[in-house]
Amino acid sequence: MQVMSEGSAAGGGLRERKKRATRAALTEAAVRLAAEHGAEKVTVEAISAAAGVSVRTFFNYFDTRDDVFVLVGAETGARVRQALLAAPASLSPLQALHDAMAAELAEAEQQHELWRLHGEVLRAAPHLLVRSLGAHLADETELAEALTERIRSGPAPGGTP
């Protein structure tokens, strides 16, 4: 759940920052509404209204209503993979992965309450939990592939273990 902080807002151009902010607003609105009313009772119209966007805008970011609950943090995995692959060659793959994960965890810590609510929503809606676990498994596979790519690029002389 990436709600914009000053650190994350600095990355990308204005258009990208606005897109991330809109996606975050939709996600936060959906999670808060679902925690209060139950995911099954939350409509796309209610989520869009709470986020201050149109229904059409909602569907620019998510294919289905359930996706707003399942794809929470989807951008996180992509950022971790990108940071892992872009880390200096002098860092070992393990250190590059550690640094990338630490940066994302620092962001997630700022949204502890929202992540807690998201967990409650998933526990109350098993079909969303199953889909969310599938999305996380796919994300882990992509991270493993990025890590393999980093390892195959070879060790840097004198790099940290």
pLDDT in tens, 121-155: 999 999 999 999 998 899 999 999 999 999 998 76
- Domain assignment present for residue 1? The answer is no
Residue 140 belongs to a domain with what CATH number? Answer: 1.10.357.10
Q: How many domains in the chain?
A: 1
With both helix axes pointing from N to C terminus, report the angle between 74-86 and 126-152 in degrees, rounded to the nearest 10.
Answer: 10
pLDDT in tens, 81-111: 999 999 999 999 999 999 999 998 988 888 8
3-state SS, residue 10: coil
Write the CB contacts of 147 (distance below 8 Å, at least 6 apart in sequence): 84, 93, 97
pLDDT in tens, 12-35: 789 988 998 999 999 999 999 999
pLDDT in tens, 47-64: 999 999 999 999 999 999
Q: Which pTM value belongs to this model?
A: 0.76
Which residues span the domain enclosing 107?
Answer: 6-152
- Domain assignment present for residue 158? The answer is no
- Domain assignment present for residue 159? The answer is no
